[in-house]
């Protein structure tokens, strides 16, 4: 059996400020295969973003084991992680193409090859004709697509997304869910996607990690047995409803 790309075992994280301690993550374990789309769902303040920061090597756990990469795919956090946040955070004085190129510039990657890849990514996310525009000329959904292209420009092995569509209106969010599935399938990346929406978690995820109210504890980690490619009609199916109801029950809402 192929070794998983990510292995987390009994993670525990405490935030400290002076004499104060706050337990943010108490017990999180999961095993994530390569090219999975993992939906990380749970109540506000339960520690989802903390888990994401640990995966990005921005935080170190106080206890537990974090292993990312395998013999076939060794891992370097600074090079092999791409991140997308709730806000696109594009630099307003740079064009869309220049924004997408930013990680490649920081990492010192060859500029001609990076520009070629950036243009290919803009084509993939449907922004081929927007390369020379500035962020204020794009809609919110278009800005998030540019942010996804930026996160992929240095060809990371792992894409981390923290509520990337939470600030969008409902219809744009639905469209971005479809776009995200298309981008994921085309890019072949392993994705961990934080969301508060159970519907979004089920629709996007090949796997789902359910965290309880903070401090985060793993309630369940399971594959979502719904076929790809997925369409919006899937949301009306009994199979979709069954998975969603199971998550509500795990969160004490069923």
Together in a domain, 99 and 192 = no
- 171 CB-contact burial (10 Å; exposed 0-12 / middle 13-18 / buried 19+): exposed
> Does residue 82 register a pLDDT over 60?
yes
Count of H-run helices and E-run strands, the chain: 8, 9
pLDDT mean over 24-41: 94
pLDDT in tens, 44-57: 888 899 999 999 99
Domain-embedded: residue 84: no
Q: Which domain holds residue 219?
A: 1-75+159-254
Give the mean pLDDT of the chain: 92
Average pLDDT estimate for 14-36: 92
Last residue of a domain, one of 156, 178, 197: 156
Per-residue DSSP letter, 2: P
Share of the chain above pLDDT 70, in %: 97
Which residues have CB under 8 Å from 26's CB, separation 6+? 12, 215, 216, 217
Q: What is the pLDDT of residue 75?
A: 80
Q: Percentage of the chain surpassing pLDDT 90?
A: 82
Same domain, 98 and 113: yes
Closest to 114 (Cα-Cα) out of 149, 90, 159, 64 = 149
Indicate yes or no: pTM above 0.75: yes
235 with 181, same domain? yes
Enter the tokens of residue 181.
Answer: 């599935």
pLDDT for 5 beyond 60: yes
Domain count, the chain: 2
Q: How far apart are alpha carbons 98 and 188 in whole angstroms?
A: 24
C-alpha–C-alpha distance, residues 56 and 244, integer Å: 28
> How sure is the predictor about 1, in pLDDT bands with cuts at 50, 70 and 90?
low
* Each residue's pLDDT tens digit, 118-171: 999 999 999 999 999 999 999 999 999 999 999 999 999 999 999 999 888 999
Report the CATH number that the domain containing residue 182 is assigned in CATH: 3.40.50.300
* Dist. CA 178–CA 170, nearest whole Å: 13
Q: 22 in a domain, yes or no?
A: yes
Mean pLDDT throughout 212-231? 90
Cβ burial of 252 (10 Å; 0-12, 13-18, 19+) is exposed
Question: Which band of pLDDT confidence, cut at 50, 70 and 90, is reported for residue 37?
Answer: very high
Three-class SS of residue 123? helix
For residues 36 and 222, the answer to whether their CB atoms sit within 8 Å is no
Tokens matching residue 167: 């600030």
Provide the edge-to-edge strand list for the sheet that holds 6-17: 63-68, 6-17, 20-32, 216-223, 207-211, 37-41, 190-195, 158-162, 81-84
Measured between alpha carbons, how far is 180 from 183 in angstroms, rounded to an integer? Answer: 5
Q: Are residues 60 and 111 in the same domain?
A: no
pLDDT-derived band at 79 (thresholds 50, 70, 90) equals confident
Residues 187 and 236 in one domain: yes
Distance separating alpha carbons of residues 18 and 156, to the nearest angstrom: 36
Question: Is 203 contained in some domain?
Answer: yes
Same domain as 165, residue 55: yes
Asked if the model's pLDDT at residue 87 lies above 60, the reply is yes
């Amino acid at each position: 059996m192929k070794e998983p790309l990510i292995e987390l075992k009994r993670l525990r994280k405490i935030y400290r400020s002076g004499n104060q301690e706050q337990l943010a993550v108490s017990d999180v374990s999961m095993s994530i295969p390569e090219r999975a789309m993992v939906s990380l769902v749970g109540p506000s303040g339960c520690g989802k973003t903390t888990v994401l920061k640990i995966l990005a090597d921005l935080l170190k756990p106080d206890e537990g084991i974090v292993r990312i990469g395998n013999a076939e795919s060794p891992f370097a956090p600074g090079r092999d992680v791409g991140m997308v946040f709730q806000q696109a955070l594009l630099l307003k004085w740079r064009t869309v193409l220049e924004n997408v190129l930013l990680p490649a510039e920081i990492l010192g990657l060859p500029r001609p090859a990076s520009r070629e890849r950036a243009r290919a990514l803009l084509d993939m996310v449907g922004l081929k004709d927007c390369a020379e525009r500035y962020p204020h000329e794009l809609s919110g959904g278009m800005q998030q697509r540019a942010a996804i292209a930026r996160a992929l420009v240095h060809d990371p092995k792992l894409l981390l997304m923290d509520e990337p569509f939470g600030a969008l209106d409902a219809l744009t969010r639905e469209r971005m869910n479809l776009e995200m599935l298309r981008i994921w399938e085309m890019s072949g990346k392993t994705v961990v996607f934080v969301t508060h929406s159970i519907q979004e978690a089920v629709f996007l995820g090949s796997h789902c990690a359910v965290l309880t109210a903070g401090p985060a504890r793993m309630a369940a980690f399971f594959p979502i047995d719904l076929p790809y490619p997925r369409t919006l009609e899937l949301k009306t199916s009994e199979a979709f409803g069954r998975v969603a109801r199971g998550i509500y029950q795990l969160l004490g809402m069923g």
